[in-house]
Chains A and B, each alone.
Chain A
Amino acid sequence: MWAPHVSAPERPTLTANRFEKSLYDLIKGLRLHKGGENEYIQSCLRECKAEIKTQDMDKKATALLKLIYLEMFGYDMSWASFHVLEVMSSAKYLQKRVGYLGAVQSFRPDTEVLMLATNLLKKDIVTSSIPNMSLPLITLPHIITPALAMSLLPDILSRLSHSSPVVRKKTIVCLYRLALVYPEALKLAWPKIKDHLMDDQEDVSVTTAAINVVCELGWRRPHDFLPLAPRFFELLVDSGNNWMAIKIIKLFATLTPIEPRLTRKLLRPLTNIIQTTSAMSLLYECINGIIQGGILDGEDNLQERDEVATLCVGKLRGMIVLDSDPNLKYVALLALNRIVATHPSLVSMQQDVIMDCLDDADVSIRLQALELAVGMVSSDSLQPVVNRLIDQLRQASVPAAELIDTSKASENPEALSIWPDDYKTEVVHKILDLCSQKNYSEILDFDWYVAVLVQLVGLLPPSEYKEDSGHYKEQEAMPHLRMNAALRIGTEIRNVAVRVKGVRLEATRAAESLVLIDNRSHLFPPGSTVGDGVLGPVAWVVGEYAEYLLSPDRTLLSLIDMSNASFPSRTLSLFLQAIPKVFVRVSQTNDPGDSWKSEMSLLLARVVEFLEALAAHPDLDVQERAIEFLEALRLAAEALDSKTPEIPFLLASVIPNLFAGLELNPVASNAQRKVVLPDSLRLDEAFRRDLPALFYDLDSSSSHESESWQVSDFYHVPGLSSSNKQAREMLPADVQPYMSYQNATGALVDSSTGIQRRMLERKERFKDDPFYIASSGASSCTSTPIHDALRTANGEDLDIDSIPIVDLKLGDENPRNVDSDRQRTHRLPRSKLVVAGDETFETLDYLPDTSMPKGADDDRPITKRSLLQVDSSSLGTSPLAKAPYPHVIPDEGEMEMAQAMQQIEEARLQMQRASERIQLEGIPAEGTLVKRKKKKSKKHIDAAAQGVSPVDNDDTEPTEGKKKRKKKTKEPV
C-alpha cells in the first residue's frame, strides 16, 4: 500500500535463482529424502554455508532463508550471525526482511555481533518507508540489550510522534521491551505514551497497544497508574472494544487493592457488563476482575457485595452447567479456584457441579476440579470425595480393581480407561493432599484412611519410570517438587502409625499386609516399581511396631525373602533395620518350650543367610547395616548352640535392647537447624589432654557412674517424672529404673527438696545434651541451653524453681508438641484421635535461621526462573517521571547498589556512544542528504496513509462472534 515501489523490482530475486536451491527446492527435497532427511539436511547446510559467504546478496539471502527454515527444526545457525547482519543491511526490502527474521529467530543473549548492528538499526528506525521502519521495531524486542537500548532510545522515542498509527503502536510496545532491560527508557517514554493514552483522537489500535503495555506494567507498579484510573474508566465504559475492555478490567484488578474507593466506582459498570454482555470472554474477565481485585472483600456495602458475589458465582455455575463448551467449564473452574481461597463457603455451595466435573472426559477440567476439591473439602465432605475419586481410579484401572475389590462395572469404561498414567498419579497425589492437609485435621476416621492408603497402593499406575523417553524426562523435572506417589503412600502409612496412636495397631496391620510376600505378587505385579517406594517406609513400621504384628513369623519370613535383595538400596536399608526388630519379636512371642531353641536357630540361620547375601551389596549403607546385624546375629546363633537350657543372655536382653528405647516422635525437619549451640560447647578443644589417665580412672571408678548413662538420657522424655504409660510399656526392665537412680543418689522422698533436687540434676544432665528437644512452652524447657540463650537474649527473669512440678507433666491428655505456628489454628473437636504434630522449637522462630528464609523469599528470581519468563523485576525499582505516588522502596541498600551499578553502566555506555559518534562523523554529508530526502517523501506518504487509513471501526468484534465465525474449516488441508 505505501511502498510498492520498493518491493516490486526485487521480488524475483528470492524465487528465481536458477542454479541454487530455493527454499521451495529445499522443502521439496526434504520431502523426497524421507528416511535420509538428516543427511540431506547436512548436505544442504554445507551448501548454505558456501552460498552465504558469497558476495551475491541474492544468494546470501536465499541461503539465510533456508537456514532460518532449518533452524525451526532445531538445526543450529548461530555460526551465521554475522551473515544475518549482512543480509539485514541489504538495500532491498524483502532481503532485509529475511535478515531481520534471521536475527529474531537465531540471535541469543550471547550473540556478539549485535554491537555492530547499532548503526544499521538507527538508520532503519529513522527511514522513510513504513515497512522498513517496522522491521527494527518488531525485531528489537527479541534482541535488545541494555547497551543497545541506550544507544537507540532517542531514535525510537522520536517514532512515537510518527504520523502513522502502525508505527506508533509498534513503537509503544518496543519501548516497553526496551524498558525491561533498560529501566531508564520508561522514565523518558512514559510521559509520551501517557499523552497517547489520554488523547481522545488517537487511533484505537494505538490506544489498545498502550493499554496492553500498561496492563503488563500495571501489576509491577500499580501506584504509578492510579492517577490514570479516570481515563481507564472512560475507555472501559465508552470504547466498546472488547479486547481493550478485557485488558482494562485486568488492570483494574491490580489497582483496586491499593485504592479501595475504586471498587465503588467499578461495581456498577462491571455488574452492568456481566448482566448485559454476550461476549463470554468479557463476562469471564469481569468476574475474574471482581474476584482478583478484591471487590468482594471488605465491610461496607455488604448487601451490594453479597449481591455481586451471588451474581458472579451464579454466572460461573451457569458456565459450568448450561454451556456444553468445555472452555467455559474450564475457565469457570479456574475462577472458582481463585474465589475458594477467600470465599470457601460460597464455592462449597457449588459442590455438586464441581464434583460432576471430576467425572469430565477432559483431563484439564478434571485437574482443575481436583484442585478445587482440595481447597474446598471439609471434614464432612472429605470421605465422599475421596471415595468418589477412588472409585474413578478403580474404574480406570480395571485389572487392579479386580484384585482389590470386585466393584461394579463402570457405566462408561472406555472413557475412563484411557486415563493417562500421569493423571492417575496426579489423582493419587491429590487424594493424599486432601487427607493429609492441616496435619490430618479433616480426617475423622483413621481406620478408613488406612484402608484408603492400602487401596491406593493397588490403584497406582504400574510404573512411573519406564515407558518411552518422554516420561523419564518428566520424572527428571519432578523430583524436587515432590516424592513419587508410591513412596508417598508408604510415608503416609508411616506417618499415621507414628502420629496417631489410636490407629497404630491398624496401621501396623496394614503395613504387615503389604509386606507379606504372598500379597506382594499381586499387589505389585512384576515390572512395577510401585513396591520399591511403598515397601521401604512400610517395612520400618513393621519393625518399629512389631508388637502389634498379627503374625511376626510370616512377616519375618517375608522380610528375609531372597527376592528382596533386588530392591533399591534405600528400600533395602529400611528392610535391614526392620529384620532384627521383628526377629526379636518372634523370639519373644514364641513359646519358650523345648522346641524354642531349635526353632530359633533355624530361623536365625535363614536370617543370617539373607544378611550374608547383602554383605557385599554395592550400596555402602546397605552393606554396613547388613554386616552389623549379621555379626550380632551370628553371635546369637553361636550362643544358641551352647548346651545350656536357658535362653542366652544375648538373645534375651542384649539384642532386644538395641531397639528398645523411648517412643519416637515426629520431629520437624527444620528442628535440628534451630538447635542453638551452647556457649560452653567448644568443638576445637581436646576433651582431655591426658587421655591415658582418663582410661585409668575409668577402670577404677565405681560402676554406678556408668550406670547413670541410661538410654533414656538420650531421648526427649516428655513427662519424665510423670507416669507416661505408653513410654513405660516400651521400656524393658533395665531401662526403667530412673527412679531408682534417684534413690541410689540418696534423695529423700521429701517432696519439695526432692523435686528441686531432681530438677537441678535434670538441668545438669540436659545441659549439654544435643538430643534433648524441649517441647512447647516454658514449662518443659526450663533447663535447656536454648532457654538459657533465650533468657539472656530477652533479659527476662524467670524463676525456674518456682514452676510447680505438675507443669512438667505433659501427659497424653494434653496435646503436646502441637505445631501452633502454622497448623493448629483450629482444633478438631470431633476427632477422638490425637494426631501428634512435629516437634520443633516454637519459641525460637525469630532466631536467625541460617539456611531457611533466604532461599524462600529473598532471591526468588534467582532460585526459580521459568523458561520463557521475561524478567520485569527491574521495572519495580526506578520511579516514573513525575510519579505522583511515592512507591515503596524495597530495600535501601539494594537500591543504592543498583543505582551505583546503573551509574557505572551509564558511564560505560556513554563512552561507548561517544566512540560510535566519532565513527559516524566520517559520513556526515550523506547522512544529512538522506534526511532531507526523507522528509519530502515522508510527507507524501503521510498524506497517502491518512487518506487510506481506515477509520477506527472495529467491525470484527472478535470476542462476540466467535462461534459464528468458526471457520469453514478448509478442505483439503
Chain B
Amino acid sequence: MINAVLVFNNNGQPRLTKFYTQLDTQTQQSLIAQIYRLVAQRPASACNFLPLPPLLSQGASSSASGPSDAPTQITYRTYATLSFIMISTSTESPLALIDLIQVFVEALDRMFENVCELDLIFGYETLHAVLGEMIVGGVVVETNIDKIVAGVRAQEGSLGKKKAVQAASSSLGRGALPGLGAWR
C-alpha cells in the first residue's frame, strides 16, 4: 500500500502532505525534511528511487524477504520546481508508482489548465480532492485521468475549472499579484 504522498518544492517547502497512517506533526516534519535532503542531493539524471531515510530505515530490516507492512520504497519524480514523493510498501510496483505520479500530475494539469506551483498553493483543496479520487486509505482506486477529473469536478462544480489564482485575485478585485515573481 501507499503510506504517504508528499509534494514539496525545490526549497523543501511542503505543498501537500498526506499520510495514510496517523503520525504526529513533529515526526511528519522531520520525515519531510529527511526526504527533502535526499531528493535535493540527486542530479536530474539519477533514477527515481530513493534510499530509505534514517527515520524509515529503522523498522524495515529485510525488504528482500517478501512483503511486510513496513514501507520499503520511496519513489519520487520532479516536475520543474515541484517534487512528488510516494512512500510505499513492497506490494506496490516501483515502476507503476512512477506512472501513478505522472497520472496525478496530468490530472492536476487538467484541473488547473497548465498547472504550476502557484496553482497548487492556492488550489490547496482541489489538490487534496484530486488525490482523494486517486488514492483512498493508501490503496489506489483510480488511474483513469478522465474519471479522476470527473470525480473532482463533481465536487467542485465549475470552481475547479478556473485557475485558482485567478479566482482568488478576481475576488479581491485586483488584477495582478504583488510579489508574484518571487514565488517562481
Contacts and interface: CB of A to CB of B under 8 A. Distances in A.
A174 B135 CA distance: 11
Contact of A871 (B24, B26, B69, B137): B69
Q: Which of B15, B61, B100, B156 has the most CB of A within 10 A?
A: B156
A260 to B, nearest CB: 17
A76 B25 CA distance: 7
Contacts of B146: 950, 955-956
Interface of A: 1-4, 7-8, 11-12, 15-16, 22-24, 27-28, 31-32, 65, 68-69, 71-76, 78, 93-94, 97-98, 101, 104-105, 107-109, 130-131, 134, 137-138, 140-143, 166, 169-170, 173-174, 176-177, 205, 208-209, 212-213, 215-216, 219, 243, 246-247, 250, 254, 280-281, 284-285, 288, 292, 325-327, 329-331, 334, 337-338, 341, 361-365, 367, 420, 470, 473-474, 476-478, 864-873, 950, 954-956, 958-959, 962, 965-967, 969-973
Given A11-B157, A973-B117, 4 more contacts: A74-B29, A108-B22, A138-B136, A177-B138
A973 B47 contact: no
Contacts of B132: 134, 138
Which 10 pairs from chain A and chain B are nearest by CB? A866-B59, A141-B137, A281-B95, A326-B47, A973-B80, A866-B70, A868-B3, A477-B54, A24-B168, A219-B67
Given A962-B102, A973-B117, A367 B51 contact: yes
A814 to B, nearest CB: 37
A365 B47 CA distance: 8
Nearest to B73: A334
A470 B167 contact: no
B39 to A, nearest CB: 12
A32 B95 contact: no
A76 B136 CA distance: 24
Contacts of A362: 42-43, 45-47
A365 B51 CA distance: 10
A872 B69 contact: yes
Given A71-B25, A864-B59, A869-B21, A97 B125 contact: yes
Contacts of A173: 136-137, 139, 141
Contacts of B144: 205, 954-956
Contacts of A420: 41
19 contacts: A4-B157, A24-B168, A24-B169, A65-B125, A105-B18, A141-B136, A141-B137, A166-B147, A209-B141, A219-B91, A250-B91, A288-B93, A330-B49, A363-B42, A363-B51, A868-B4, A868-B71, A868-B87, A970-B116
B140 to A, nearest CB: 6
A894 to B, nearest CB: 19
Nearest to B67: A219
B182 A31 contact: yes
A15 B154 contact: no
A362 B147 CA distance: 37
Interface in B80-106: 80-82, 87, 91, 93-96, 98-100, 102-103, 105-106
A868 B137 contact: no
Nearest to A341: B64
Q: Which of B116, B142, B146 has the most CB of A within 10 A?
A: B142
B163 interface: no
A866 B102 contact: no
Nearest to A280: B95
B80 A870 contact: no
B69 A477 contact: no
A326 B29 CA distance: 29
Contacts of B153: 1
A167 to B, nearest CB: 11
A212 B93 CA distance: 12
Contact of A474 (B49, B54, B96): B54
Contacts of A213: 139
B56 A970 contact: no
A973 B177 CA distance: 15
Contacts of B14: 72-73
A470 B69 CA distance: 27
A361 B82 CA distance: 23
A219 B66 contact: yes
Given A209-B141, A950-B147, A967-B79, A170 B136 contact: yes
A293 to B, nearest CB: 11
B81 A284 contact: no
A544 B66 CA distance: 46
A213 B140 CA distance: 9
Contacts of B27: 867
A315 to B, nearest CB: 14
Contact of A131 (B23, B124, B155): B155
Contact of B96 (A1, A75, A281, A866): A281
Contacts of B117: 973
B176 interface: no
A212 B140 contact: yes
A767 to B, nearest CB: 43
Contact of B136 (A22, A137, A250, A341): A137
Nearest to A861: B69
Given A4-B157, A967-B109, A470 B34 contact: yes
Contacts of B122: 23-24, 27
A215 B89 CA distance: 12
Contact of A361 (B1, B41, B45, B143): B45
Nearest to A140: B137
Contact of A331 (B13, B79, B95): B95
B2 to A, nearest CB: 10
Contacts of B142: 169, 205, 209
A406 B79 CA distance: 43
Contact of B21 (A27, A140, A868, A873): A868
Q: Which of B25, B61, B116, B129 has the most CB of A within 10 A?
A: B25
Nearest to A73: B14
Interface in B132-181: 132, 136-147, 150-151, 153-159, 167-169, 171-172, 177-179
A868 B23 contact: yes
A93 B71 contact: no
Contact of A72 (B17, B66, B91): B17
Interface string B27-51: 1111101100100011101111111
Contact of B46 (A31, A76, A130, A361): A361
A107 B51 contact: no
A973 B116 contact: yes
B64 A337 contact: yes
A899 to B, nearest CB: 23
B26 to A, nearest CB: 7
A243 B96 contact: yes
A972 B57 CA distance: 37
Given A137-B136, A364-B49, A973 B96 contact: no
Contact of B154 (A2, A98, A292, A973): A2
B37 A470 contact: yes
A922 B54 CA distance: 53
A143 B1 CA distance: 17
A288 to B, nearest CB: 8
Nearest to A478: B54
A219 B13 CA distance: 37
A958 B71 contact: no
A108 B24 contact: yes
A420 B40 CA distance: 12
Given A69-B124, A327-B49, A474-B54, A867 B179 contact: no
B1 A216 contact: yes
Contacts of A97: 125, 129, 155
Nearest to A215: B91
A139 to B, nearest CB: 9
Contacts of B91: 215-216, 219, 250
Nearest to A23: B124
Nearest to A68: B124
Given A216-B1, A867-B23, A970-B109, A958 B69 contact: no
